[in-house]
């Protein structure tokens, strides 16, 4: 079982590393679409700026409960997605949060560091919102995405039990890829309600596969002894 976990993490970590390059290129290719709709990206960044101001002025010293609750709820969501039984969940400003899950895996453990829960919940209703209100929804997306970013930078460090259990190097690579992946999905929705997201996902997958194929093609050459 231990060997299986090591091989699994090696495989997933390697794919995440390739995904950083592949989906990073897809995100770069998405930028022209955003530039052609400056009002939407400015609304997103404006919502983020509002959150940063709100955080510095008020939340930095009072927000413990909400960040803890979001952290534990994200663990719980991924536990449900992996068909794990949740024994208990608690969150408080003074005592922090705890969740007891029957079983678990590295994805559940790392989920709060890569899954922007509030922003992605908003994406579920985005297709239902009329075009004239998309600007305001993009502001809310920015607000909640920057909520995720602030807590990512505050909580993602080697001392976190989730990081220690999952492995520091694996956690860094996997969390970096997943954050880039979800950032691309969110940004791709700013200028429309679906087609850019499909294009981003397809482009990222194609680029990642191309990098994988290039490595596979050159692997025999690299493994061959020097003559």
Segment 105-110 mean pLDDT: 90
Segment 51-62 mean pLDDT: 80
pLDDT range class, residue 196, cuts 50, 70, 90:
confident
pLDDT range class, residue 226, cuts 50, 70, 90:
low
Amino acid 91: pLDDT: 76
Look-up: residue for tokens 């090696």? 10
Domain ranges for the chain, please list them: 41-217
| Residue of 104 and 171 predicted with greater confidence | 171
| Rounded Cα distance, 151 and 162, in Å | 14
Cα–Cα distances in Å, from 46 out to 39, 82, 145, 152, 219?
Answer: 10, 36, 12, 20, 47
**CA neighbours closer than 13 Å in the CB half-sphere of residue 155:** 22
Segment 2-23 mean pLDDT: 88
Amino acid 18: pLDDT: 95
Give 94's contacts (C-beta < 8 A, 6+ positions apart).
64
| Rounded Cα distance, 24 and 10, in Å | 21
pLDDT range class, residue 178, cuts 50, 70, 90:
very high
Amino acid 224: pLDDT: 56
Amino acid 225: pLDDT: 55
| Residue of 128 and 226 predicted with greater confidence | 128
| Rounded Cα distance, 216 and 196, in Å | 30
Segment 66-70 mean pLDDT: 81
| Residue of 6 and 134 predicted with greater confidence | 134
- The chain-wide mean pLDDT, for the chain, equals 87
| Rounded Cα distance, 108 and 110, in Å | 6
Assess whether pLDDT exceeds 60 at residue 227: no
| Rounded Cα distance, 41 and 31, in Å | 10
- The string of pLDDT tens digits covering residues 122-175 is 999 988 888 889 999 999 999 999 999 998 998 888 888 889 888 899 999 999
Look-up: residue for tokens 């061959």? 224
pLDDT range class, residue 63, cuts 50, 70, 90:
low
């Amino acid at each position: 079982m231990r060997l299986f976990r090591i091989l699994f993490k090696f495989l997933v970590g390697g794919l995440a590393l390739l995904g950083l390059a592949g989906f990073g290129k897809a995100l770069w290719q998405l930028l022209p679409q955003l530039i052609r709709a400056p009002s939407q990206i400015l609304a997103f960044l404006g919502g983020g700026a509002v959150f940063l101001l709100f955080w510095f002025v008020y939340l930095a010293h009072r927000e413990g409960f909400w960040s803890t609750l979001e952290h534990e709820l994200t663990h719980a969501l991924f536990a449900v997605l992996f068909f794990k039984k949740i024994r208990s969940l608690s969150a408080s400003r003074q005592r922090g949060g705890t969740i007891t899950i029957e079983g678990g895996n590295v994805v559940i453990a790392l989920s709060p560091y890569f899954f922007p829960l509030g922003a992605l919940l908003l994406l579920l209703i985005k297709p239902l919102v009329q075009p004239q209100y998309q600007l305001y929804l993009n502001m809310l997306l920015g607000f909640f995405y920057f909520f995720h970013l602030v807590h990512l930078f505050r909580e993602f460090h080697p001392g976190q039990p989730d990081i220690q259990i999952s492995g520091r190097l694996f956690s860094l690579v996997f969390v970096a890829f997943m954050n880039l992946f979800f950032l691309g999905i969110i940004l791709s929705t700013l200028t429309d309600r679906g087609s850019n997201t499909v294009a981003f996902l397809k482009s990222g997958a194609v680029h990642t596969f191309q990098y994988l194929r290039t490595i596979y093609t050159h692997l025999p050459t690299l493994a061959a002894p020097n003559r």
